[in-house]
Amino acid sequence: MPAHVLQFPVRYHECDAYHHVNHANYVRYMAEAAFSASAKVGYTEEKLKKTNAVWLVRGHNIEFVNPYTFGDQVKIETWVTNFRRVRSLRQYVFWKGNQVAARASTDWVYADRQTGQLLTVPDQMAADFLTYNGPDDRPQPKLDPFPKPAPYPEAPFSCSLAVEWRDVDPNRHVNNAAYLSYIENAAWQMCVQYGWTPQRMVEHNFGIVARRYRIEYLAPAWMGDQLQITTWVSDGRRATAVRHYEVRRAADQKLLARARALWVWVNLQTGLPIRIPRDFWEDFQPNISAGTPNKS
């Protein structure tokens, strides 16, 4: 099946303290690839503005396989899998040379640019995209409902932040990639609260990296909103655990987004998974959901 291809180098400012491209930047890359593919089909931003319509992200599902570092060449293949009245599912494969760096999908919704009300995707638009991508002989992915989160633990961790100008995109709401930065910052703040600073982890020669992210956007946040981010852990295994997140508007407690991440503990020298350090796991017991599997 033909796919739209976008290529560019990793910039230094896109990398984090592990020298990896930060997770939020994969989402930014996906947006660029989607906009580029849309323009190739003939649906530029200018054309969509004339129809007063816009494509908005409802959710992302990302699997990280082989991290990019500074100087790598990013190659993204992307294609539309299907349309469903007001929605479209777009797939992505990230390449690092001849190896897969990540796989992802985005659930897009078609909406009125001013009101945000969902609109039916025009038949001609759907036909144009599907014709450009050609017939898909691969298995059709199933968009499962967002997984039910594990129950709150004894001490779910919460922090707050104010939406800043840098977080707001041309649609005048918080850009979807900013939420990944929000929730990662919340996780690190929680680690510090439990005594595990980034420096302490380095001294013990381990890091924590995401293997998968699933995030669902339920309502927009706006400039000036105060956000409350809550996070907790479940499903501990030998080298992995699931971290849950909720992002709410502090003023009315409206749920704006929710996410879950599969985190992996790795040796900083080799990058290979390691057993979660026992003292680390024991320190976090108040933040671990009761009734979920114990770490083996």
Domain end marker among 144, 167, 187? 144
Hey, what are 5's tokens? 């291809």
Which distant-in-sequence residues (6+ apart) come within 8 Å of 96 by Cβ?
66, 68, 72, 73, 74, 75
Both tokens of 154, joined, read 């004894």
Q: What does the pLDDT read at residue 1?
A: 53
Its pTM stands at 0.93
pLDDT of 229 = 98
154 and 139 belong to one structural domain: no
Structure tokens at 163: 């939406």
Q: Are residues 140 and 156 in the same domain?
A: no
Question: Is the domain of 8 the same as that of 81?
Answer: yes
Q: How far apart are CA 227 and CA 20, in angstroms?
A: 27
pLDDT (tens digit, 0 to 9) for every residue of the chain, 296 residues total? Answer: 568 999 999 999 999 999 999 999 999 999 999 999 999 999 999 999 999 999 999 999 999 999 999 999 999 999 998 899 999 999 999 999 999 999 999 999 999 998 989 999 999 999 988 887 765 555 556 667 899 999 999 999 999 999 999 999 999 999 999 999 999 999 999 999 999 999 999 999 999 999 999 999 999 999 999 999 999 999 999 999 999 999 999 999 999 999 999 999 999 999 999 999 999 999 999 999 985 555 54
Q: Which domain holds residue 217?
A: 147-296
Asked if residue 296 and residue 159 are part of one domain, the reply reads yes
Model pLDDT, residue 218: 97
Do 60 and 20 lie in one domain? The reply is yes
Do 213 and 136 belong to one domain? no
**In terms of domains, do 12 and 123 share one?**
yes
* 100 lies in the same domain as 53: yes
Q: How far apart are CA 82 and CA 75, in angstroms?
A: 23
Residues 151 and 287 in one domain: yes
- Answer yes or no: do 165 and 293 share one domain: yes
Number of domains in the chain: 2
Residue where one domain finishes, among candidates 121, 144, 167: 144
Asked which of 144, 174, 190 is the last residue of a domain, the reply is 144
Place of tokens 């929000």: 182
Question: 53 with 113: CB under 8 angstroms?
Answer: yes
| Whether residue 101 is found in the same domain as residue 22 | yes
Q: d(Cα 135, Cα 290) in Å, to the nearest integer?
A: 47
Collapsing DSSP to helix, strand or coil, 296 comes out as coil
Q: What CA–CA distance (Å, rounded) separates 158 from 191?
A: 12
Neighbour count for residue 181 (Cβ, 10 Å) = 17
Amino acid at 226: Q
Indicate if 137 and 174 belong to the same structural domain: no
CATH of the domain at 117: 3.10.129.10
